[in-house]
C-alpha cells in the first residue's frame, strides 16, 4: 500500500508541476526522479489524491516540495487542499513548505549582488553589541576599582595612626574620607559585576543600568559620609578648638597618602583614556557619553582625595606655624566642601543616566534625515531613543512606507515580474479559482516579506550610522 501511495504521490506531483507551468530547472529536477513516467492530467491527479489515505497525504505534499521550486510547491499544495478538502496533515506540510520558501528567498537575497544605491551593509547581530569592547572596558574599570580599594585601605591605616598620634580634626576627616572611598569603590565593583548579567524574561534588555544605580549610591555615600561628616567635624573644631600635636607626623602621612592616591588616579585615568580610545572618542566625549561611569567615579574620587590631602596638609602646617587651631578646623570644612561638590557632580551624572536620556538632537536628526532619504520611505514619525546602559541605546520609530516603491523593488529582483504574469495568466486561462487564490496568497506573502526585508535593511543602516544603538524597533505607520 505504501508503494502505491508513493507512486500516486509521484504522479500527482508531476501533474501539478506541469499544470502550473513549472520552469525549466524545476522540470529538470523532476525528470531526474523519473524521466519515463507519463504524467496524468490535473483532474486525474486530483482524483488520485482523493483516494490516497489521509495519513499519506503529507507524503504527496512533500513530494511536490522535492520535485518543484518551493514557491510552485506551495501554490500546488494550496490548490490541492482547497480543491479536495484534505486532512490537516497536508496543512501542516503546507506550513513547512512556506517556511522552506522563505528560507530559499533569504538565501537568494544574501547571494545576490548588493545594490550600491541602497547602501547594503554587512550582516550584524540583532543584539547590536560589541561584546569584546564591553568586556575590555569592564576589565579596565575593575582594574581601576581594585587599585583604588588597595590604595585607600593602606591610606586608611596610615591616617588612623596619624590621627591617634596628632589628634588633628583634619586627619580624622581624611580618615573618614578614606573609609567612604573604600565602601563606595566596593559598591562600584558590585555594580560592574551585576550589570554584566545577561537579559532574561524579567529584564529583556539586560541589567546594564544597575551600574548607574550603584554609582548613584556611591555618590550619595560620598556626600553624606564624606562631605557631611567632614563639615560637621570642622564646625565642631571651630566651636571647641583643640591644638594639634605631632603635626609633622600628620603631614608626612598625608604626603604618603597623596602619592598613593595619585597612583590610583593614574590607573583610573589610564583606564578611562583606553576605554575612550577603544570607542574612537575623545576623553571629553567619552565622559559625557556615560559609557564608563565607574572609571569616571574613581577618577573623580581620587582627584578629590589628592586635593583633599593637599588641603589637609596645608591646614595642619598653618595651624602649627601660627599656633591657631582654627586653620585645621577650616581645612576640615574645605575638605568636606570638596567632597560635596564631587558627590553632587556624580549624583547628577548618574541621575541623567538612570532617567534614560536620548541620543541627542543632532544624532537623532541625522538618523531621521537618513531614513527620509530612503526611496521606500515616505515619512518618519515618533522617532525616539533611550539609553539602556553605559553607551547602549534603543531607537524606535514609525515609518510610512511607499507601497509603490516596495512593489517595484520586489518585482525587479530575480525575474519576479515575469513569473507572476505567468502564474496569473495560467490561472485566468484555466478559470481555476483555487489556482488564482493560491497565486494571490503567494503574492501577498511575498509583499509582506518584502516589507520585512526593507525594515531589516534599514535597521542595519541605522546601526552602521550610529554604532551606540544596539536595539532598533521600526514599526509601519
| Apex 336 CA angle, 335 and 340, nearest 5 | 120
| Structural domains of the chain, ranges and CATH numbers in brackets | 2-111 (no CATH), 131-355 (1.20.1510.10), 361-476 (no CATH)
User: What is the rounded distance in angstroms from the CA atom of residue 60 to the CA atom of residue 6?
Assistant: 7
Q: What is the pLDDT of residue 381?
A: 92
The alpha carbon dihedral of 186, 188, 193, 197 has a sign of positive
171 close to 253: Cβ distance less than 8 angstroms: yes
User: What is the rounded distance in angstroms from the CA atom of residue 165 to the CA atom of residue 364?
Assistant: 60
User: What is the rounded distance in angstroms from the CA atom of residue 94 to the CA atom of residue 245?
Assistant: 92
396 close to 356: Cβ distance less than 8 angstroms: no
Supply the pTM of this predicted model: 0.59
Q: What is the pLDDT of residue 263?
A: 92
Q: Return averaged pLDDT per consecutive 10 residues of the chain, 477 residues in all.
A: 42 41 39 39 40 42 39 46 43 47 49 38 42 74 89 87 75 75 86 85 85 87 83 86 76 86 90 82 80 80 87 87 87 89 88 85 92 91 87 89 86 78 81 83 84 89 88 87
Nearest CA among 134, 170, 163 for reference residue 318? 170
Q: Torsion over CA of 338, 341, 345 and 347, rounded to 10 degrees?
A: 100
Q: Torsion over CA of 7, 8, 9 and 13, rounded to 10 degrees?
A: 100
User: What is the rounded distance in angstroms from the CA atom of residue 384 to the CA atom of residue 397?
Assistant: 6
Q: What is the pLDDT of residue 301?
A: 82
Nearest CA among 293, 287, 272 for reference residue 143? 272
Q: Phi and psi (nearest 5°) for 379?
A: -160, 155
The alpha carbon dihedral of 204, 208, 214, 216 has a sign of negative
Q: What is the pLDDT of residue 411?
A: 84
Name, in order, each residue with C-beta under 8 angstroms of 271's C-beta and a sequence gap of 6 or more: 140, 141, 143, 144, 292, 295, 298
User: What is the rounded distance in angstroms from the CA atom of residue 2 to the CA atom of residue 56?
Assistant: 8
Q: What is the pLDDT of residue 117?
A: 36
| Apex 474 CA angle, 473 and 477, nearest 5 | 140
What residues are paired with 399 via a beta bridge? 380, 476
Report the number of secondary-structure helices (H) and strands (E) in the chain.
18, 3
User: What is the rounded distance in angstroms from the CA atom of residue 138 to the CA atom of residue 125?
Assistant: 21
Q: What is the pLDDT of residue 59?
A: 46
Q: What is the pLDDT of residue 279?
A: 75
Q: What is the pLDDT of residue 130?
A: 55
Amino acid at each position: 500500500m505504501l508503494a502505491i501511495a508513493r507512486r500516486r504521490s509521484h504522479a500527482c506531483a508531476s501533474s501539478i508541476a506541469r499544470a502550473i507551468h513549472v520552469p525549466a530547472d524545476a522540470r529538470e529536477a523532476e525528470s531526474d526522479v523519473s524521466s519515463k513516467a507519463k504524467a496524468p492530467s490535473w483532474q486525474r491527479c486530483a482524483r488520485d489524491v482523493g483516494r490516497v489515505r489521509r495519513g499519506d497525504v503529507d507524503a504527496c505534499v512533500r513530494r511536490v516540495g522535492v520535485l518543484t521550486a518551493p514557491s510552485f510547491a506551495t501554490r500546488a499544495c494550496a490548490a490541492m487542499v482547497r480543491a479536495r478538502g484534505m486532512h490537516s496533515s497536508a496543512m501542516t506540510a503546507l506550513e513547512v513548505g512556506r517556511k522552506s520558501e522563505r528560507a530559499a528567498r533569504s538565501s537568494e537575497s544574501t547571494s545576490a549582488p548588493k545594490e550600491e544605491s541602497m547602501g547594503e551593509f554587512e550582516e550584524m547581530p540583532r543584539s547590536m553589541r560589541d561584546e569584546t569592547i564591553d568586556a575590555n572596558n569592564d576589565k579596565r574599570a575593575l582594574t581601576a576599582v581594585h587599585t583604588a580599594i588597595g590604595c585607600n585601605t593602606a591610606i586608611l591605616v596610615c591616617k588612623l595612626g596619624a590621627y591617634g598620634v596628632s589628634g588633628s580634626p583634619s586627619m580624622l576627616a581624611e580618615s573618614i574620607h578614606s573609609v567612604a572611598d573604600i565602601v563606595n569603590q566596593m559598591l562600584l565593583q558590585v555594580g560592574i559585576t551585576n550589570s554584566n548579567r545577561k537579559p532574561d524574561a524579567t529584564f529583556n534588555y539586560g541589567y546594564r543600568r544597575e551600574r548607574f544605580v550603584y554609582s548613584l549610591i556611591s555618590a550619595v555615600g560620598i556626600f553624606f559620609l564624606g562631605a557631611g561628616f567632614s563639615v560637621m567635624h570642622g564646625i565642631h573644631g571651630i566651636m571647641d578648638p583643640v591644638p594639634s600635636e605631632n603635626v609633622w607626623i600628620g603631614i608626612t602621612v598625608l604626603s604618603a597618602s597623596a602619592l598613593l592616591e595619585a597612583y590610583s588616579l593614574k590607573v583610573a585615568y589610564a583606564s578611562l583614556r583606553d576605554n575612550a580610545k577603544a570607542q574612537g572618542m575623545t576623553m571629553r566625549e567619552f565622559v559625557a557619553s556615560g559609557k564608563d561611569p565607574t572609571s569616571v567615579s574613581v577618577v573623580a574620587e581620587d582627584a578629590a582625595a589628592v586635593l583633599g590631602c593637599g588641603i589637609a596638609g596645608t591646614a595642619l602646617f598653618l595651624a602649627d606655624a601660627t599656633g591657631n587651631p582654627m586653620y585645621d578646623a577650616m581645612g576640615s570644612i574645605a575638605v568636606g566642601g570638596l567632597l560635596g561638590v564631587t558627590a553632587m557632580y556624580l549624583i547628577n551624572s548618574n541621575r541623567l543616566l538612570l532617567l534614560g536620556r536620548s541620543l541627542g538632537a543632532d544624532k537623532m536628526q541625522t538618523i531621521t534625515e537618513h531614513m527620509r532619504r530612503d526611496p521606500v520611505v515616505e515619512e518618519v514619525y515618533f522617532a525616539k531613543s533611550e539609553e539602556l546602559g553605559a553607551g547602549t541605546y534603543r531607537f524606535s520609530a514609525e515609518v510610512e512606507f511607499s507601497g509603490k516603491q516596495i512593489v517595484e523593488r520586489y518585482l525587479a529582483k530575480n525575474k519576479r515580474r515575469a513569473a507572476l504574469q505567468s502564474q496569473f495568466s495560467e490561472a485566468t486561462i484555466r478559470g481555476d479559482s483555487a489556482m488564482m487564490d493560491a497565486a494571490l496568497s503567494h503574492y501577498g506573502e511575498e509583499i509582506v516579506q518584502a516589507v520585512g526585508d526593507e525594515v531589516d535593511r534599514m535597521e542595519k543602516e541605522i546601526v552602521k550610522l550610529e554604532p551606540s544603538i544596539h536595539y532598533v524597533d521600526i514599526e509601519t505607520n
